[in-house]
Structure 1
Amino acid sequence: MRSAIVVGAGTSGAIVARRLVDAGVDVTLVEAGGYDTNPAIHDPSRAGELWHSAEDWDYFTVPQQHAAGRRLHLPRGRVTGGSHALNAMIWVRGAASDYDGWERDGATGWAWSDVEPVYEAIENDLLPVTGDYPLSPIQASIIDAAVQEGLPHNANYNGGTLDGVSQEQVTMRDGRRVNTWMAYAQPVADRLTVVTGREVHSVIIEDGRALGVRFEDGEELRADEIVLSAGALGSPVILMRSGIGPAAELEALGISVVRDSPQVGKNLHDHLLSPVIFTTSREVGPPQPGVSVTQTHLFWRSRPELAEPDTQPIHFSVPMWGELEPRGDDGFTLMAGLITPHSRGSLTLSGPAVSDPPLIDLAALTDERDVASLAASVRQCRRIGAQPALAGEWGAVEVYPGPEVAEGDVEDWVRRTAITYHHQVGTCRMGSDADAVVDPGLRVRGIDGLRVIDASVMPTVPSGNTNAPAAMIAERGARFLLEG
């Protein structure tokens, strides 16, 4: 029987494992974290408890030169379900032009016409995707305020047009989180070998072929096919510890070079957010069990000549103080968002051991176009909060940035407060060129029997949350593997 090791039980890995086992492959699914026993995973109202928890890899960037020298938190799931166990469950396909751009730039076979049927199949098969749930009163008013600001009310942003304010489509059922681990892998766990609490150090490679994986304690596990689904931060780290990466960087750390692949860990980029926080005279109230604290978002073009929206504010029913000084205990947040970043960063190793943390540099806001788009989104969120549906009906008062930050100072506010939307991609870019880390079939160039199937292969980040694209990539990647 053909055998495979899938590293990572997150969005992509759970799908790959299910599709392979259904095809009769002997699958071992390896997860560095444990099982999803934390009740906060399953109740959407408690998602905020998961940051910095045992289920979070709790990554931080290096100091970001263009973001006030701050180290940005990058929560990533270290648990069955991966980051889909921690996130807000928002399902966004993105724009058709995102995927046509991939195809145009060398990711042959990844155009919108290729991927749209896969999205439709996922949404009609195992994973529940719904926009049919009651809105919290404050969220309904945010939609009204956005319409008053001049935005269209878009009933289905996954229907071909992103623009407008919308209720989020989410992967939930009966007020409970549903992720790909729960929907795909867990139901067939008795047909899988699931290994938890074991971190993969590297891939075993002999004579140009991947033969297995090596754990942090040196133990080895072998199979016919190896799939890395450890995410945009985890997969390049494993490749580099395996000797696949920029040769000079690896040699400097004493890692024997198996294949000089200069783009491993490069092309790192992410969506960014910046908060606009309001207190209210009418009580919003605390999070309610089974109800996500974010239910609406919008897509908007900061410049009318843009072909697609470049911003995606996400709206929270709580004040998201973060590192800001709290100014009250009730309110809401319009989190301005940038979804077409031009800045590109990198991920490198600090050492060859599992215990050596990766050095993650998003190069956040290095490109002035990113600053301009995010600042425009902040200004729009300020205007929405001042509309009658919020200022009048709720007595909304902007406390951050607040009156002390003039319109001309918003760029500085963005640099001081920007955080990530947790949508890192690009570090194992796919393409047809010699520098691409994986080919369009997601095979690691120069190494037989090894594929990367996760968000790291995206050449550019889609226009929206990356969970849905990661699932789509997994379905296609599993099919490619089974077809040989």
Structure 2
Amino acid sequence: MSDATVARSAIVVGAGTSGSIVTRRLVDAGWDVTLVEAGGYDSNPAIHDPSRAGELWHAAEDWDYFTVPQEHAAGRRLHLPRGKVTGGSHALNAMIWVRGAASDYDGWERSGATGWGWSAVQPVFEGIENDLLPVTDDYPLVPIQRSIVAAAAEEGLEHNPDYNGGTLDGVSQEQVTMRDGRRVNTWMAYVRPVEHAPNLRVVTDAEVHSVIVEDGASVGVRLAEDSELRADEVILAAGALGSPAILLRSGIGPRADLEELGIDVVHDAPEVGANLHDHLLSPVIFTTDRPVGPPQPGVSVTQTHLFWRSREDLAEPDTQPIHFSVPMWGELEPRPGVNGPGDGFTLMAGLVTPHSRGSLRISGPDVQDPLRIDLGALADERDVAALAASVRQARRIGARPALAEEWGAAEAYPGPEVADADVEDWVRRTAITYHHQVGTCRMGADPAAVVDPRLRVSGIAGLRVIDASVMPTITTGNTNAPAAVIGELGARFVLEDSAPAL
């Protein structure tokens, strides 16, 4: 057998959105692939029934991360659910498919991410949506969701029948990755059909400690139980929290931080773990006189959302409220006669263009050492102003006739005793993650970038990061669809860069 016909091998770390796509593309190309997932298989029925997604928080399938106390968010530690299961966070989320704004990707390219402009990523989106992954809004809205759309129209928002068609603004039915009332994620669509291929090995319940680097090149990974796996290429697809943590434990990161923890420095990369940012939500909850009813099997508790500009001078929407058919009490302080069982709905105000930046650090060299996750949530006053404006808008929508008169909707939280002028304080006391952490392995062409535009880790041969951590700036909307594009383009780069020269 000639060298040209010897199959190359790869280890893909993480069976989430990006990692599953990379795995499929390499398997189809004839590579020997080992897919390593820290969690188990997606056997929990709550994963597959969209009405039960809330059961997965704090469950075995959730990494159950928490931030450090957030100085600008009332000193609270925010829960960051992340998928620890085949399918990754796409096994836990609301399956909402948002491409984002064309300007998001053109902005990446202007910042040095050559080849990532809208003209490059648009056909990739179209290919995903027309190939293996179903993206649909062909499902009936439950009555309360229809009324929320009507109330938004009464507030003056236009109905947008296709927010992925080039214009985000307006109120829309969510486009989701579902089929016949069941969740479909990239693990199910890309990997499961080839799970038993002779050139694929899936290893579950195996947490990766670090990358093995020899003579400046990655040659494999160390697992938490001290065993090793070796391959020609190592691809980290463990997400914006997992991938930088693995790099840091590998000795790839800020020299001073690594030396303080007694970790041998393999490559001084100051921005590993930096540039962490996330979308944020803040709840506006309404009780109703007319019964809304409990969640129904096969029906997501969120079906509509809207995009809106909190200021007229903005080029793109900076808010994306998401609407729930249930009262999302969460950890709100109980209020007699209000907080508890009963009918209601939630207009969850949403910030999608955050200016605040945080960081991820490890607290020790072992996988058991907790991550120090600091979102820097609401550190920038522009974020507070935008999220507060979204809360005020949600209050107005809930008071419109389609909800207040037809459903007897009454604002329970923040509640009438909280004046609009005091909403900023409400936001700081209630803001939570929108589940969209990005940026900790920023791509770019400058020397400080963690990965180059082809997602190769600077300074280490044979090592790539292919997941949402490479985003220089977060996209305008849910990040699952962009993570899928990152998976497709990342796999393409791997195959192109390994092709024999003609």
- What's the TM-score bracket when you normalise by the shorter of the two chains? over 0.9
1:268 maps to what in 2?
A: 276
- Is 1:80 matched with 2:86? yes
How far is the alpha carbon of 1:404 from its aligned partner?
1.1
- Separation in 1 of the partners of 2:495 and 2:92? 30
- Separation in 2 of the partners of 1:307 and 1:198? 44
Alignment length (residue pairs): 484
SS in 1 for 2:473: coil
1:372 maps to what in 2?
A: 385
Q: Judge conservation of contact 2:37–2:205 (CA < 8 Å) in 1.
A: yes
TM-score (norm 1): 1.00
How far is the alpha carbon of 1:328 from its aligned partner?
4.6
Map 1:97-108 → 2, pairs under 5 A: 97-108=103-114
Q: Judge conservation of contact 1:327–1:399 (CA < 8 Å) in 2.
A: no
Amino acid across the alignment from 1:72: L
1:238 maps to what in 2?
A: 246
- Separation in 2 of the partners of 1:451 and 1:184? 20
- Separation in 1 of the partners of 2:87 and 2:295? 23
- Is 1:321 matched with 2:337? no
Q: Could you report, residue by residue, the CA deviation over 1:135-172 in whole angstroms, capped at 9, with x for unpaired residues?
A: 01000110000010000000000000000000000000
- Is 1:357 matched with 2:334? no
Amino acid across the alignment from 1:371: V
Q: Judge conservation of contact 2:133–2:186 (CA < 8 Å) in 1.
A: yes
SS in 1 for 2:323: strand
How far is the alpha carbon of 1:449 from its aligned partner?
0.3
Q: Judge conservation of contact 2:136–2:177 (CA < 8 Å) in 1.
A: yes
Percentage of matched positions with identical amino acids: 81
- Is 1:200 matched with 2:208? yes
Amino acid across the alignment from 2:421: G
How far is the alpha carbon of 1:329 from its aligned partner?
1.8
1:471 maps to what in 2?
A: 484
1:164 maps to what in 2?
A: 170
Unaligned regions of 5+ residues in structure 2, if any?
Answer: 1-6, 498-502
- Separation in 1 of the partners of 2:403 and 2:148? 7
How far is the alpha carbon of 1:365 from its aligned partner?
0.2
- Separation in 1 of the partners of 2:145 and 2:441? 37
- Aligned residue among 394, 410, 414 for 1:381: 394
How far is the alpha carbon of 1:241 from its aligned partner?
0.3
- Aligned residue among 88, 95, 98 for 1:89: 95
- Is 1:457 matched with 2:470? yes
Amino acid across the alignment from 1:346: S
1:440 maps to what in 2?
A: 453
SS in 2 for 1:16: helix
Q: Could you report, residue by residue, the CA deviation over 1:24-53 in whole angstroms, capped at 9, with x for unpaired residues?
A: 000000000000000000000000000000
- Is 1:288 matched with 2:301? no
- Separation in 2 of the partners of 1:402 and 1:235? 41
How far is the alpha carbon of 1:327 from its aligned partner?
4.7
Q: Judge conservation of contact 1:279–1:328 (CA < 8 Å) in 2.
A: no
Amino acid across the alignment from 2:212: I
SS in 1 for 2:196: helix
How far is the alpha carbon of 1:218 from its aligned partner?
1.2
Q: Could you report, residue by residue, the CA deviation over 1:179-218 in whole angstroms, capped at 9, with x for unpaired residues?
A: 0000001110012100000000000001100000001111
Map 1:193-232 → 2, pairs under 5 A: 193-232=201-240
Q: Judge conservation of contact 1:273–1:420 (CA < 8 Å) in 2.
A: yes
- Separation in 2 of the partners of 1:446 and 1:221? 21
- Separation in 2 of the partners of 1:136 and 1:113? 37
Q: Could you report, residue by residue, the CA deviation over 1:250-298 in whole angstroms, capped at 9, with x for unpaired residues?
A: 0000000000000000000000000000000000000000000000000
**RMSD of aligned residue pairs (Cα, Å):** 0.5
- Separation in 2 of the partners of 1:248 and 1:28? 33
- Aligned residue among 417, 422, 428 for 2:441: 428
Q: Judge conservation of contact 1:4–1:25 (CA < 8 Å) in 2.
A: yes
Amino acid across the alignment from 2:293: G
TM-score (norm 2): 0.96
Amino acid across the alignment from 1:480: F
Unaligned regions of 5+ residues in structure 1, if any?
Answer: none
1:331 maps to what in 2?
A: 344
Amino acid across the alignment from 1:281: D
1:25 maps to what in 2?
A: 31
- Separation in 2 of the partners of 1:85 and 1:129? 15
- Is 1:298 matched with 2:306? yes
Q: Could you report, residue by residue, the CA deviation over 1:414-454 in whole angstroms, capped at 9, with x for unpaired residues?
A: 00000010100000000000000000000000100000000
Amino acid across the alignment from 2:406: E
Q: Judge conservation of contact 2:289–2:343 (CA < 8 Å) in 1.
A: no
1:251 maps to what in 2?
A: 259
SS in 2 for 1:213: strand
- Separation in 2 of the partners of 1:157 and 1:208? 45
Q: Judge conservation of contact 1:232–1:454 (CA < 8 Å) in 2.
A: yes
- Separation in 2 of the partners of 1:206 and 1:50? 39
SS in 1 for 2:68: coil
1:307 maps to what in 2?
A: 315
Query: Which has the larger displacement, 19-28 or 322-331?
Result: 322-331
Amino acid across the alignment from 1:442: L
Runs of 4+ in 1 over 2 A off after TM superposition: none
1:127 maps to what in 2?
A: 133
